[in-house]
Amino acid sequence: MRVFIALVVLMLAACANTALHTVNADGADRDSRHRAELRMELASAYYAEGQYSTALKEVDTALAIDPTLAGAHGLRGLVLMQTGQDKQAERSLREALRLAPDNPDWQNNMGWFVCQRQSAKAAMPYFLQALSNKTYSSPQKALLNAGLCSLKDQDAVNAESYFLRALQFEPNLVLARVKLAKIYFERGDLTKARRHILVAVQSEKIVVEDLMMAIHIERKLGDRAAEKSLVSKLKRLYPDSPKAAAYFGGETDE
């Protein structure tokens, strides 16, 4: 009987030690993941500010802590894209997708990479796969990229469709508005062109070429007051632009 009790005690002690080891291991894993995610947040902030070398150092530190962090691989791919290191960027983006094959953000980013570096046709499946995910929190990103990619392939019809769908999710998406305005302007549909370009103008996130397009639209529509208002905006935002100077010199017609 004593032998039996002793064996039971030994078994319970062994189980307790195993359980404690498991808890400690799980805690260590959670701590590593947390530290890696903090590094990735820093990397994201540096990336947003255009400090790509610092962002790369931070994301590499995150991956050294936790090489299974799919988001860090994906962010690394984006950073490397910006610095022109395409082969390494593609490897990182594909690793992100390998670790998180159903993540729509990385599908979208992979599609953008393929669109920019390879072909529009090869990129579209990535965007469509991202959009098929009902949990995707920002489908306007993939829709915008699909539209831009379609324009690269000289497919204005599909581009228009993607941009309009993107606006359903984010009505003030300036780039989609600008691209739609250009599509309609080139078709001669000035009313639609005006509707979209004015949203972009109001945001003040508009480059000089697009502001010039807005001026041309108002001129063609014969709205001199609107044209004058846009010219004032052009002068205020881009006083040193050669195109603005050309307008002020009376050389605006292209």
pLDDT for residue 69 is more than 60: yes
Token pair 């610095």 in the structure block, residue: 83
Shortest CA distance to 155 belongs to which of 190, 191, 115, 97?
115
Mean residue pLDDT across the chain: 86
pLDDT recorded at residue 20: 38
Alpha-carbon distance of 81 to 141, in angstroms, equals: 17
Alpha-carbon distance of 75 to 196, in angstroms, equals: 32
DSSP secondary structure, 165-212, as one string: HHHHH-TT-HHHHHHHHHHHHHHT-HHHHHHHHHHHHHHT---HHHHH
- Residue 159 contacts residue 183 (beta carbons within 8 Å): yes
Q: Could you state, in order of their start, the residue ranges of all structural domains in the chain?
A: 1-101
Fold (topology level) of 1-101: 1.25.40
pLDDT recorded at residue 246: 72
Alpha-carbon distance of 32 to 22, in angstroms, equals: 15
Interval 165-193: pLDDT, tens:
999 999 999 999 999 999 999 999 999 99
Report pTM.
0.80
pLDDT recorded at residue 28: 56
pLDDT mean over 185-208: 92
Interval 110-165: pLDDT, tens:
999 999 988 899 999 999 999 999 999 999 999 999 999 999 999 999 999 999 99
pLDDT recorded at residue 32: 80
